[in-house]
Structure 1
Amino acid sequence: MKHIVIGTAGHVDHGKTLLIKTLTGMDTDRLKEEKERGISIELGFAELKLPSGKQAGIVDVPGHERFIKNMLAGVGGIDLVMLVIAADEGVMPQTREHVDIIQLLQVKKGIVVLTKVDLVDEDWLELVTEEVREYLQGTSLRGAPIIPVSSTTKQGIPELLKTIDQFVEDTEERVSIGKLRLPVDRVFSVTGFGTVVTGTLLSGRISLGDTVEITPQGLTSRIRSLQVHGKKVEQARAGQRTAVNLTGVEVEEVHRGNVLVTPGSVDPSHRMDVRLLLLESAAKPLKNRARVRLYLGTDEILGRVRLLDREELGPGEEIYAQLELEEQAVAGKGDRFVIRSYSPMRTIGGGTVIDANAAKHKRYRPEVLEALATKEMGSPEELIAQFLAGKQGLFSDEDIATGIGLALGEVNVSVQKLVEDQQIKRIVSEKKDLFASWQVYEDWGKNIQQLAKQYHLEYPLREGFPKEEMRSRKFSFINSKSFQYLLQSLAAEGYIKLSDKTLAHPSVNEELPEVYQKTVNSLLAIVQQGGFQPPSWQEIIKSNKIKVTEAQEYLQYLLRTEKLVKLADEELFFAAEHYREAKQMIIGYLSQNRELSVAQTRDLLNTSRKYILPLLETLDRERVTRRVGDNRVLV
């Protein structure tokens, strides 16, 4: 079933709440103070059942100037607006401000409801109707149907319901794809259940048992229960008014303006790139660094406007700008916002988010404005190439889609074109392919290759640069598994050679420089001459007058190239051929005999207990032999 959210707008005391009660039977004035004062202070919600059987949610927003911020919190997620104007008063100040907000948020579908028609005569109603029609000519609601009603006598209510029904039929349902995003507009506690938040689901789906992140504070919670239009459901989807019961979160920890998201899907930010319009009705120009109140989703945040190409913005002008916020905000590309002057509080402008996690820009730079224009208006290929350009990291198609606000299917098609044109590089992985700018990828390859070459010059006896050390030192922004896929790609293209744990320059081979090979041969000869009774490593390096650190390099080389075998004793090593010989002699003996004692092994190899014990322990570890009492048997 299609789910549409309708929002009211209009001046205080023009009959919005009574109209909703007449349409739905529900009183959205839920606070005692609202009852006493006769005006809406907080957001109210109701369910509307239409003649066709369709359902819609109605958000009743306050009209009083003092409560504009609450109005903004409610209007952000609506599909259709009902602009309520009292026939006995006509267009009033808050009517105009609400219409400005509707335009800034680009709510393009609307119905004008002239209430209290029972209080005026036909001539007056005709004059007010004409005034409203003329006023709306320059707005996004021009041409909207104007329906006179009386919530008291029910005049015009059937026609209004029929018109709403038709609008709902013609309104496209929001697509439930992408990451979860639900801006919180109410928070309360229910005895026995705990914390409950409500909001309009802007994208994605949410299901019972899901884990969600509460941003920007980064809390995590699990969904205990869900309601849509007051009914329990197992899943809610984009476009639905949703109540979410959260576990493990206190009511004091969540606030209006927070956003429920898929864990890890967004990065809250203090800075955003935007296209900004200053309303023609603004009383004065907006100066660079002016302090404003930002209304984004259901949040209100103080911040400053950085004008990138001028010192002040005149009424009616539209430019690229940056918003520097005093608190973190959660947004996505294409989100609409409103700004109000800091003092006195008046709606002065708004616009569209272009980059929700922007870097700080230098002012008066043409290239900055060109880049913002590409971000805003560029083709999918241009947006993806720009998103990846210079970025240090590997990104999945989902990362790219989230980062630039495109549908995943559109990203899949576009990245294929960019890969074929060698603008971006595809890194094949086990689960999801990863992408990087081609230039960044080449820079990585050349950098790793150079580091590997330097490493080999510094440590010629080593196999290569340890992979994990390379990642932690130079590529900590890539996780270990993804880094392995990157190295495999670089190796396939000849940048490096890979072994199990190291990487090396492609020119590196096992042939050592003569000076090192000479020392290796000398050390190995000493061990070989010792047969089954070689000297300890300390004795060897002392006799050759080699520094301990240098000797360790030679030892690791001899072990890695399997010229030496380390026995269980840390200081004893057999030449590989003598170790193999000893092992075969022991296996041969045990093939003919049931057991082998330490003394028998000593006699068999004509050596001493000093070597026999670590040799037998080494064979035990290799699962060649097994100790039974003081003797050995074959495994």
Structure 2
Amino acid sequence: MDNLIIGTAGHVDHGKTMLVKALTGVDTDRLKEEKERGISIELGFAPLTLPGGRRAGIVDVPGHERFIKNMLAGVGGIDLVLLVIAADEGVMPQTKEHMDIINLLQVERGVVVLTKIDLVDEEWLALVREEVAGFLKGTTLEGAPVVEVSTITGQGLDELVRTIDRVAAEVRPKPATGQVRLPVDRVFSVTGFGTVATGTLWSGVMKTGDLLDIMPAGISTRIRSLQVHGARVEEARAGQRVAVNLTGVEVEDVPRGSVLAAPGSLLPSHRLDVRLLLIPETRPLKHRARVRLHLGTAEILARVVLLDRDELSPGEKTLAQLELEEPAVAARGDRFVIRSYSPMHTIGGGSVIDPVARKHRRMREEVIRSLLTREKGTPEELLFQQLDSRPALFTAAELARAAGLSEDEAGKALSSLSAGGKMREIPAEKQSYFVSRRVYGEWGEAVRQLLQDYHREFPLREGFPKEELRSRKFPQLNSKQLQFILAAMEKDGLVRVHAQDVSLPDFSPRPGPAQERQVNGLLQLYRESGYQPPSWSEACRQVGLTGPQAGEILQYLLRQGALIRVSDEILFHPVPLQDLRKSLVDFLQEREGISVGEARDLWQTSRKYALPLLEYFDRERVTRRVGDKRVLARGLEQKDRP
């Protein structure tokens, strides 16, 4: 790989910082207190160019037990570890704890460096070699090369560089194609530039000018400039140590433990579903034990919820949920470490299964089965589990993020699910939504039953109001999403969609026998009343129509065009209304205009009807008002165009 992050690990005063200085020329102890005490307290960083041309960044971590949390902030993103063991002391307590952390984080490539060989004789060195070999058995560094060096005499340093170069060739590169994710391990302010955050870019590509989210706070920012190994660059790639100059934020907005991420790519959560391992050399862990979670560069207090037992024994693994006291962001597969609350020492760790988990009920087989699928399932199984878990619409990006897949992996899995008939794609304006066939089928049946009952109760209405349908059956969707669902259901022959309503595909509003007699009576009355129709209440009284049915029949007649509303109080039958229109157009084609009084005389009616009729014809663009008269609308001056 072209970019490489190397981390040191080992007991305090075993020569980690001196080794880094000998390899790079950089003294990573930058704090005054570190100089005075002769130990590393904070993380240190130094660049190293390997013989093969690879550019490496070395993260020098503290070895003292009091600063293990700082060590954990730096070790999360490393590709290769230098486990430093002083030849004059051998394996010590923090050597063991650092090795536990390396195991728990699954750092699989490394070099064991025996330092201070100038202080011991060959016989002692042979004993230390034997001790180290036994210590490494069963760890991720079993079989790792061991190089003996002295930073005082320079012995072994060239061999160490060659060995690092050889082992580096075996390291898998971090995914530059994924979403940007950089856990922040240091933040400071530079005069004239503002806030600068540093960390290892775990995935993706950062470019000057890109927008970022500071998570879990959810603060938006933009990249002003970038540095890699102290040099300004326009672009930083996964696997590099990066300093990011951020716009519009203060140092306190980006504390250690924050993650710089592509906008919308991570969701904060107070719960993580995990596979948890308790290391052998510790005490049993009880359900709801309080622990310190180290995730990326963050340290968060949490409770361990054991899902299938009340106590986890040393050396055992189990499925668990971590309830966090502060929100965190993670991705599926992220490694983590837990330490006891007090006294603080490393007790276990594992990997994230679901970074945005819901609360589970304990001792449930279905919960365990679901988590096992999420842990070991194929991309198709992971996506289908998300789709089938709740009645909702998902975008491809949301599914990929929830399942911990790349967008490319998610796209292929979605195609496979669609071909297998397990998923329904819902086309939208700029993207598609996805829903499982089971959920889609349940939605369709629920809508069918609702409409069937509605049509039976209200046979004259065109259909069920869309917004009421959304609030009753789809409260989790917004109005636009409901439109897309209904369009898909209409295409599948499940419904018919109208402007404001939705109905069954074969439904047409029609009155029953008793209603039909009343409808016919009303239409006859309005047609025969000509230019002076009765009010609706009077018409209903004449045909014996009362109560809510009167309103139902009126709306039906208006939708059918069997009656036309001229004003709030006046209804006309279409035939006499058409006669009125023709006589008005004929009149105006012979004269320059018509007043209300002239219209009243023309139609032999009263002002009560003449004025509303003229205003109606204005709205219908048959006429237009000029002063206190009406003239023909443009386009009708020469010829009537009914």
TM-score range, shorter chain: over 0.9
Pair 1:279–1:508, CA change in 2 (3 A): same
Pair 1:595–1:102, CA change in 2 (3 A): same
* C-alpha contact 1:391 1:437 (8 A) present in aligned 2: no
Q: Which amino acid aligns with 1:193?
A: F
TM-superposed deviation, 1:595: 4.0
TM-superposed deviation, 1:545: 7.4
TM-superposed deviation, 1:588: 4.2
Distance in 1, matches of 2:71 and 2:599, equals 91
TM-superposed deviation, 1:356: 1.7
Aligned to 1:534: 533
Pair 1:157–1:392, CA change in 2 (3 A): same
TM-superposed deviation, 1:610: 3.6
Aligned to 1:307: 306
TM-superposed deviation, 1:112: 1.4
SS at match of 1:456: helix
Distance in 2, matches of 1:545 and 1:234, equals 82
| Deviation sequence 1:416-442 (CA, Å, 0-9, x none) | 333333322232334433222221111
Distance in 2, matches of 1:502 and 1:311, equals 54
> Aligned pair 1:366/2:374, yes or no?
no
Q: Which amino acid aligns with 1:606?
A: Q
Q: Which amino acid aligns with 1:96?
A: K
Aligned to 1:146: 146
Pair 1:51–1:416, CA change in 2 (3 A): closer
Q: Which amino acid aligns with 1:582?
A: L
Pairwise mapping of residues 554-593 of structure 1 onto structure 2 (< 5 A)? 554-567=553-566, 569-593=567-591
Moved more, 113-122 or 302-311: 113-122
SS at match of 2:263: coil
Distance in 2, matches of 1:235 and 1:590, equals 75
Aligned to 1:192: 192
Pair 1:572–1:318, CA change in 2 (3 A): same
Pairwise mapping of residues 392-411 of structure 1 onto structure 2 (< 5 A)? 392-411=391-410
Q: Which amino acid aligns with 2:101?
A: I
Pair 1:340–1:623, CA change in 2 (3 A): same
Pair 1:2–1:578, CA change in 2 (3 A): farther
| Deviation sequence 1:529-578 (CA, Å, 0-9, x none) | 443333444555576676686544333322222223333x4323333334
SS at match of 1:170: coil
* C-alpha contact 1:308 1:362 (8 A) present in aligned 2: yes
* C-alpha contact 1:47 1:57 (8 A) present in aligned 2: yes
Alignment gaps of 5+ in structure 2: 635-642
Aligned to 2:355: 356
Pair 1:418–1:149, CA change in 2 (3 A): same
Pair 1:222–1:521, CA change in 2 (3 A): farther
Aligned to 1:437: 436
| Deviation sequence 1:464-513 (CA, Å, 0-9, x none) | 11223212332132233332222122223333222222111345222222
SS at match of 2:342: coil
Aligned to 2:488: 489
Distance in 2, matches of 1:258 and 1:118, equals 42
Moved more, 527-536 or 293-302: 527-536
Distance in 1, matches of 2:232 and 2:552, equals 68
Pair 1:219–1:618, CA change in 2 (3 A): farther
Pair 1:455–1:84, CA change in 2 (3 A): same
* C-alpha contact 2:206 2:236 (8 A) present in aligned 1: yes
Aligned to 1:91: 91
Distance in 2, matches of 1:313 and 1:42, equals 33
TM-superposed deviation, 1:293: 1.1
Q: Which amino acid aligns with 1:54?
A: R
* C-alpha contact 1:44 1:59 (8 A) present in aligned 2: yes
Distance in 2, matches of 1:479 and 1:255, equals 36
Aligned to 1:424: 423
| Deviation sequence 1:39-77 (CA, Å, 0-9, x none) | 222222222223333211221211111111111111111
> Aligned pair 1:477/2:476, yes or no?
yes
Pairwise mapping of residues 322-341 of structure 1 onto structure 2 (< 5 A)? 322-341=321-340
Pair 1:571–1:312, CA change in 2 (3 A): same
Q: Which amino acid aligns with 1:320?
A: L
Q: Which amino acid aligns with 2:44?
A: G
* C-alpha contact 1:9 1:81 (8 A) present in aligned 2: yes
Aligned to 1:457: 456
Aligned to 1:227: 227
* C-alpha contact 1:538 1:571 (8 A) present in aligned 2: no
Distance in 2, matches of 1:544 and 1:27, equals 101
> Aligned pair 1:73/2:73, yes or no?
yes
Aligned to 1:386: 385
Distance in 2, matches of 1:140 and 1:418, equals 37
> Aligned pair 1:24/2:24, yes or no?
yes
Distance in 1, matches of 2:406 and 2:206, equals 19
SS at match of 1:389: helix
Pair 1:452–1:236, CA change in 2 (3 A): farther
Pair 1:153–1:510, CA change in 2 (3 A): same
Aligned to 2:603: 605
Distance in 2, matches of 1:617 and 1:226, equals 68
- Count of residue pairs brought into register by the alignment: 633
Pair 1:228–1:471, CA change in 2 (3 A): farther
Distance in 2, matches of 1:619 and 1:46, equals 84
Pair 1:518–1:277, CA change in 2 (3 A): same
Moved more, 436-445 or 24-33: 24-33
Aligned to 2:638: none
Moved more, 86-95 or 30-39: 30-39
SS at match of 2:169: helix
Moved more, 216-225 or 289-298: 216-225
| Deviation sequence 1:81-117 (CA, Å, 0-9, x none) | 1112222222111111111101101010111122223
Pair 1:626–1:68, CA change in 2 (3 A): same
Distance in 2, matches of 1:595 and 1:123, equals 123
Pair 1:19–1:412, CA change in 2 (3 A): same
TM-superposed deviation, 1:627: 3.0
TM-superposed deviation, 1:27: 2.5
* C-alpha contact 2:104 2:349 (8 A) present in aligned 1: yes
Pair 1:586–1:316, CA change in 2 (3 A): same
Aligned to 2:14: 14
Pairwise mapping of residues 509-524 of structure 1 onto structure 2 (< 5 A)? 509-524=508-523
* C-alpha contact 2:7 2:75 (8 A) present in aligned 1: yes
Pair 1:204–1:470, CA change in 2 (3 A): farther
Aligned to 1:278: 278
Aligned to 1:212: 212
Aligned to 2:637: none
SS at match of 1:13: coil
TM-superposed deviation, 1:593: 4.6
Distance in 2, matches of 1:560 and 1:482, equals 27
* C-alpha contact 1:528 1:578 (8 A) present in aligned 2: yes
TM-superposed deviation, 1:412: 2.8
| Deviation sequence 1:353-381 (CA, Å, 0-9, x none) | 11122233232223322222222112233
Q: Which amino acid aligns with 2:419?
A: E
Give the TM-score, by structure 1 length. Answer: 0.93
> Structure 2 residue aligned with 1:625, among 601, 605, 623?
623
Pair 1:343–1:624, CA change in 2 (3 A): same
TM-superposed deviation, 1:346: 1.0
Alignment gaps of 5+ in structure 1: none
TM-superposed deviation, 1:517: 3.2
SS at match of 2:8: strand
Distance in 2, matches of 1:161 and 1:30, equals 24
Aligned to 2:640: none
